[in-house]
């Protein structure tokens, strides 16, 4: 009898580690975490625009209408709605909230695996409620980011589990005046990825004068990378005299860069065009979510109070 000895090469060693959460492969990577990050980047594209209280983006031009209302200080978000690839006119929602209020100054948006995003939003709401019950006040942004990142990172090293396949956009309007200034009032946006790392998306730095304040953008999900930089420059330099202009700009950006097949690609009876979820998160109006149709621009506004 002849026995054949098979020596494992580098590829077989890598595949042996690819389904283990807690084992690093020979190159130092956690393959399952990397796959979860890729899954979060395949979700619906999300674009968010942060507008400060005083900036060139909010100054009304002389040629604008006299009764036009400039956009309020806050964060504006746009997401295309996808209902599991179906085109049935009977389906108006899949039961997964995309944008969830956490407190009067914090809301969360998710993209990637919808069920994982829904689970993390539930965790965030529970963290905020527990914090209010114990301390009698709303949870701070730092406490929420730390607790959420810990929950996400825990799933990257837990036996018999898998990482969350979604990314979170945490939007905060600021905590109010800090030392008599407006630094603490600046709206900020953070991303939490499946590895549990937290990244600031709109780092504008410290502001020494009102003229230095400007709008900033954040992108999550599946974006056409070739167009993202051009869109960022275009939206950053654009002046918004009304909130309608903000809404149209964000929807156009999602339409222009979304290279995936839209769920409403073929007009069907009862539905015309693709539907977008548009949200405005401001101190005065709170979180307001609208459903907007691409062709008719008709919207069904729902207000959420925290």
**What is the tens place of the pLDDT at every residue in 13-53?**
445 655 666 777 778 788 888 889 999 998 888 999 998 87
Alpha-carbon gap, residue 250 to 194, rounded angstroms = 26
Alpha-carbon gap, residue 17 to 5, rounded angstroms = 22
- b (16+ CB within 10 A) / e for 204-236: beebeeeeebbbbbbbbbbbeeeebeebbeebe
* Helix locations, 197-274, DSSP H: 225-237, 243-257
DSSP-based helix, strand, coil % in the chain, nearest 5: 30, 25, 50
- The pLDDT value recorded for residue 140 is 94
**Sheet strand arrangement including 74-80:** 216-220, 46-51, 74-80, 275-282, 286-293, 299-304
Low-confidence ranges of the chain (pLDDT < 70): 1-21, 54-68, 83-94, 175-185, 203-214, 224-226, 257-273, 294-306
Q: Are 216 and 209 contacting, i.e. CB atoms less than 8 angstroms apart? A: no
Backbone torsion region of residue 206, taken as left when φ is above 0, otherwise alpha when ψ lies between -120 and 50, otherwise beta: beta
Closest alpha carbon to 99 in 44, 37, 53, 52: 44
Q: Are 250 and 47 contacting, i.e. CB atoms less than 8 angstroms apart? A: yes
- The pLDDT value recorded for residue 195 is 93
Q: Are 106 and 279 contacting, i.e. CB atoms less than 8 angstroms apart? A: no
- The pLDDT value recorded for residue 27 is 80
Closest alpha carbon to 250 in 95, 15, 49: 49
First CA to last CA across the chain, in angstroms? 76
Alpha-carbon gap, residue 283 to 172, rounded angstroms = 10
Q: Are 271 and 252 contacting, i.e. CB atoms less than 8 angstroms apart? A: no
Using alpha carbons, list the distances in angstroms from residue 176 to 82, 101, 104, 127: 36, 18, 12, 22
Q: How many residues does the chain have?
A: 306
Using CB atoms within 10 A of its CB, is residue 140 exposed (0-12), middle (13-18) or buried (19+)?
A: middle
Beta bridge partners of 286: 282
């Amino acid at each position: 009898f002849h026995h054949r000895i098979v020596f494992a090469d580098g590829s077989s060693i890598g595949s042996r580690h690819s389904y283990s959460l807690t084992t690093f492969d020979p190159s130092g990577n956690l393959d399952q975490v990397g796959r979860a990050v890729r899954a979060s980047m395949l979700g619906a594209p999300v674009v968010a625009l942060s507008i400060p209280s005083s900036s060139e983006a909010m100054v009304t031009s002389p040629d604008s209408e006299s009764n036009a209302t400039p956009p309020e200080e806050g964060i504006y978000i746009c997401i295309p709605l996808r209902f599991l690839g179906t085109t049935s006119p009977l389906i108006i929602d899949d039961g997964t909230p995309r944008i969830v209020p956490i407190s009067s100054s914090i809301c969360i948006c998710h993209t990637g695996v919808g069920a994982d995003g829904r689970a993390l939003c539930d965790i965030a709401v529970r963290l905020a409620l527990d914090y209010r019950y114990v301390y009698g006040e709303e949870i701070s942004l730092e406490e929420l980011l730390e607790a959420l990142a810990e929950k996400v990172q825990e799933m990257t090293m837990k036996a018999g589990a898998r990482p969350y396949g979604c990314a979170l956009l945490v939007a905060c309007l600021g905590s109010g005046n800090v030392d008599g200034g407006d630094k603490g009032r600046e709206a900020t946006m953070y991303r939490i990825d499946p590895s549990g790392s937290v990244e600031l998306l709109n780092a504008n730095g410290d502001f020494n004068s009102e003229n230095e304040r400007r709008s900033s953008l954040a992108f999550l999900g599946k974006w056409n990378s070739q167009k993202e930089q051009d869109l960022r420059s275009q939206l950053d330099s654009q002046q918004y005299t009304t909130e309608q202009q903000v809404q149209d700009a964000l929807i156009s950006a999602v339409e222009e860069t979304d290279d995936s097949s839209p769920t409403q690609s073929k007009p069907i009876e009862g539905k015309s065009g693709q539907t977008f979820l548009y949200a405005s998160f401001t101190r005065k109006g709170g979180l307001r979510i609208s459903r907007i149709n691409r062709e008719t621009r008709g919207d069904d506004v729902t207000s959420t109070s925290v």
